[in-house]
Structure 1
Amino acid sequence: MTSPLDTLTPNDVRQLLDDKYVLILGDSVVRALYKDLVKFSHVGDFLSDEELRVKGEKRFSGDRLISGGVQKGLTNGIDYEEVREHTFGGHRRTRYYFLTRCYSSYMKNVVFNDIKNQTIKPDIIIMNSCLWDISRYGVYAMRSYKRNVDSIMGSFREMLPDALFLWLSALPASNSSEGGVIVPSAEYVRPIIPGLIRDGNYYCSQICNIHGVLYIDIHKILSNMLHLRQADGIH
C-alpha cells in the first residue's frame, strides 16, 4: 500500500510551506526533524546517521547557526543552547530552538522575547519537550513537567492565538538507553524511562485538548518500528 509520503517531493514541501514561518522547538530528536525538513526541502533527502550525531555546527544544508552551538560550546548540560534558521527565497523561514525544558527562564527570556519583539512571527509551531524534562530536574521532575506543559501551551496560545500549534509525543526510549541525556546522578531514572514517557505523553494529549493544540502521536507509530531506532536507544 502506497503512502502519500512515498511520492512527496521537495517542491511539494516548498509549496505547502510557502510564505510560512515555522517555529520548531525541542531536544535532539526534534532537531533531527528540523534538519530532515531543511534537507528534504533543499535536496530531496533525509539525514544520514553521521549527520544525526552532529550538533551545533555553523551551517547545515543551507541553514545557519544563529546562536549557541559551537559559538558558545558543545555540552550535554541543561544550559546548552542552539538556535538555527533556514530561509528560502525570503518567503519561507524555519527556525529551531534547542530546549532542555519546555517552560523555563530561557523560554521566557529568549523565545518569548523574540516573539514579542517580532524577531520571529510563527504561523506554525511544532514542539516536543519531555525526555530532558523528566530526567534532569530531580525526583519531582514529572510533577514539574506536567505543570510546565500546561504553562507553555497556555502562553503560546495567548501570544499566538491564530498559529497552528502541533505538539509531538515523545518517542519510545529504551530502558537501557545510552548517551548524554541521562547523567550519573539521574541513573535511577533510566530503567523507568519508557513508563515515564508514556505517562508524560498521555498527560500532554489531554492538555492539548484543553488548549486547542493538535497532538501528534508519533510514539504509537514508532513503537512498531523499534528496529529502526538508533543504538543509543533514544533517536
Structure 2
Amino acid sequence: MKSVSHRQASQLLHNKFVVVLGDSIQRSVYKDLVMLLQKENYLTLRQLKSKGEMSFEQDCLVEGGCLSPMHNGTEYREVRQFQSAHHLVRFYFVTRVYSRYMQSILDDFRNGLKPDVVIVNSCVWDISRYHSRWIDDYKENLYRFFEKLSGILPKETLIIWNLTMPLAERIKGGFLVPEIEHKAPQLRYDVIEANFYSGTLADAYGMDVLDLHFQFRFSLHHRTKDGVHWNAIAHRRITSLLLQHAAQAWGVIMPCAVAVESHQTQRNYNHREEFYSDSLPSGYLNFEESNPPQQAYRHGAAGVNRPALPRQCPPPVYRHKYRHRQVGHGFNYIPHHHYVPYNEHHHLNVMRSRHSRHHYAPYTHHRPNQYTRRESYY
C-alpha cells in the first residue's frame, strides 16, 4: 500500500477546511486524519473504540458525546473539531443521510464557513434502524441530501462519497440493538445493494465516489471481530486513498510514497501485533459502548508536530494553475514548490468519477497572516 506521510498531508491540506460526516467508521476516518496531520503514529485500539470523549489528540468535543447522556439511539449526537494554525477538521456523527439534524448541518454550511473537502457516508444505520423496507426511503433521502448539498456548496468543494465497507456475516455494534438483531445476517447483502444506489446517485450529481467495499474486499483480516469496524492499518489506508484522490483533483503530485511506507513500517515495527491483529482485548469488542466518565475540559488550538522524514522525499508539487494567491486579511503566504503538469493516473479503480477542481481556500479568508512572504510553513 502506498501511504501518505504526515508532512505531505499537512501541506496538502494547508489552509483547508475538511468536514467528515457519518457513523462510527467515519469517526475513525476523522480521527486518523487528525492524527496524521500532527504525527506519523497510527491510532491505538482505545482511540478507535472510544466515542464522545472530551478530547482526542488536541481536538475538542463541540456538541453531544459525553456532554449529554451516552446512548446507542438514532438521536445520538457528536460534533468534534480539530483546529491548528493552518488546518481545520470537523466531524458530525449522523445516523441518517437526510433528516432534520442533517438539514441543520447543511444550514451551517449555507450560513457559515464553506468546506474545501466533504467526506461523507451514511448507510448501515439508514438500512437497519428506521424501516424494514428501507430501499425507497433510503433512495429518497439520498436524493434530498445530494440535491441540497450540491445547491449549498460551491462547485470547487471536493465532495467524496465513501461506499460502505464490507460487513461480516456475524456482526456486533452499537447500532445493532436487540430489536433488529434478526437483520444481521442479511445486512452484508443489503449494504452491497445500498452501495449501488448511493454510488450511482452520487456519481450522477457529479460527486466523487470512493468504493471502499471494493478496496477492502481482500483485506478482511484487518476487520475487527465485531464484524463492522476496522483496525488502524485499514484506516491509514483509507486516509491515504482519500488524500491521494484530493491531490489528484487539485493537481498535486505527492512523490516518494513507497519510501514513506517503508519509513512508517520501520517506525511502527514494535507495535505491529497491535495494529495487524483482528482480536481486541476483553471489553473492546463493541466500538459503540459508552466510555467511563471523563474530566470536563477542552484544549485550545494546537500546533502541528513535525517529525523528521527521509531526506529523499521531496514535498508535494503543485500544478501552475493551482498556485496560491493573496487572499483576504493580508494572507500572502506563497508555497515555494516548483510547478509541473500532472499527468499520472495511478489509481483508476479507486473513484467512479474524478473532476478537476479550481483552487478554493475559503478557510484562508478567516485566518490572519502569520508568515511573511519569504517564510515557509516547514
Superposition TM-score, scaled by structure 2 size: 0.59
Deviation sequence 1:114-153 (CA, Å, 0-9, x none): 11220x3201110000000001002122321111112111
1:177 paired residue among 171, 180, 193: 171
CA contact (8 A) 1:133 1:142 kept: no
Q: CA deviation at 1:92?
A: 1.8
Alpha-carbon offset, residue 160 of structure 1 = 0.5
Q: Distance in 2 between matches of 1:46 and 1:82?
A: 22
- Tell me if the contact between 1:26 and 1:128 (Cα under 8 Å) persists in the aligned partners: yes
Aligned to 2:96: 101
Alpha-carbon distance, 1:161 to partner: 3.2
Query: 1:18-33 alignment to 2 at 5 Å?
Result: 18-33=14-29
Q: Are 2:136 and 1:138 aligned?
A: no
- Tell me, yes or no, if structure 1 residue 233 matches structure 2 residue 231: no
2:79 maps to 83
Alignment partner of 1:123 is 2:119: no
CA distance in 2, matches of 1:231, 1:4: 26
Query: In the alignment, which residue of structure 2 is the partner of 1:209?
Result: 203
Q: Contact 2:96–2:123 at 8 Å: present in 1 too? A: yes
**Residue aligning to 2:45:** 49
Q: For 1:60, what is the secondary structure of its paired residue? A: coil
The separation in 1 between residues aligned to 2:173 and 2:160, in whole angstroms, is: 27
For residue 201 of structure 1, give the secondary structure of its aligned residue in structure 2.
Answer: helix
Distance 1:47 1:77 in 2: 26
C-alpha distance in 2, partners of 1:4/1:126? 20
Amino acid at match of 2:201: I
| Root mean square deviation, CA, Å | 1.1
How many Å apart are 1:157 and its aligned residue?
0.5
Bigger RCO of structures 1 and 2 (CA < 8 A, at least 6 apart): 2
Q: Contact (CA 8 Å) 2:110, 2:153: kept in 1 or not?
A: no
1:34 equivalent among 27, 30, 38: 30
Shift of 1:166: 0.2
C-alpha deviation, 1:76, in angstroms: 0.6
- Counterpart AA for 1:54: S
Paired position in structure 1 for 2:154: 161
2:54 to 55, 58, 64: 58
8 Å contact kept, 1:128–1:170: yes
How many pairs are equivalent? 228
**What is the SS of the residue equivalent to 1:4?**
coil
Q: Which has the higher strand share?
A: 1
- The CA distance in 2 between the partners of 1:60 and 1:122, in whole Å, is 22
**Aligned-pair distance for 1:232?**
0.6
Larger Rg over CA atoms: 2
Quick one: which amino acid aligns to residue 41 of structure 1?
A: L
Give me the whole-angstrom Cα distance separating, in 2, the residues matched to 1:38 and 1:157: 26
Partners of 1:53 and 1:4 in 2: how far apart? 25
Distance 1:160 1:180 in 2: 32
Q: Identity rate of aligned residues, in percent? A: 36
Residues of 2 paired with 1:190 and 1:4: CA distance?
34
Q: Secondary structure at the match of 2:96?
A: coil
Length-normalised TM-score, structure 1: 0.94
Query: Matched residues in 1 for 2:147 and 2:42: separation?
Result: 33
Distance 2:180 2:200 in 1: 27
State how far apart, in whole Å, the 1-side matches of 2:119 and 2:227 are: 23
- CA displacement at 1:42 relative to structure 2: 1.0
Q: 1 CA distance for matches of 2:154 and 2:111?
A: 17
